[in-house]
Structure 1
């Protein structure tokens, strides 16, 4: 994708990425058979942004790089293994973080307030072997990490039980948020349909 977007040979991109990884400027995250490269941390990102402001004319002009061409239903809401993904998965994760229910800085961690919230929302966190309570999963359309682990799986299960989400006709991984789901996500996390549209 980087080679296509920048119109450079894949071997050139690979060489540059190797140097950035060796220097600690970037890190690699594996997700299934894919490998994603990201800037190592917030301090490095700020440094690169500051340098780009000086080096690139009109740096602040609006720009966008389309990275994923996926059918709209899959981008809006889908399952990723046994938890939410797409814009819905990211909206849930972001809302939980904003409300202090989930820490996402390094490893994902459900807070005490998050455990209480799960209990109030009817989301059971009773054991399931050695599975972590919360884990991160890299979203292939949003290119950000969303909530996985036991909490993510149990939230998705509750949403199916209560018919907050349903599979569209034809099945697949895409999801549709129902009217009941709009109300539930609004009541539980302050989300509106615009968050996943």
Structure 2
């Protein structure tokens, strides 16, 4: 019942505040919204799109994602290599190609290297997790600051994350304006960091 009431409220607000742009595609409407933001009280933002298309992500996020992927691939390869080495050792022992003492010594060596690898992988994973946490917080901070600046005059009563929307008039989309503001704030932050050095 609440969802139905909410959707009716969103529909009513969109009909009374901004009007439809029937002749435009969503891309054209989004482009127009970058310069002409809707005057409705209820608007929405594609948060994931803002974060994925932001200069912050392009300059830092993509590199962090690539670094994380490389580390995960490296961990998987190292673990696979150690498992293959242990399997070869077991095969040699079963065929009687090495003595029990040699097999035990080599197995202990493999186990020590496995423990060392696991410790270093856990340490590297914690570092990457912290870097991802900091990056996510920076992105969220930029997004919140951008929304706060865009809505400084409190003209919007309700700003929705578009991931929760089922349908909405594209004239209520303020994503391009938020993206532009996020990029502006990011550039200002980078300039301030350079000036501080």
User: TM range, normalised to the smaller chain?
Assistant: under 0.3
TM-score (norm 2): 0.20
TM-score (norm 1): 0.20
Greater Rg by CA: 2
- Greater share of strand: 1
- Greater share of helix: 2
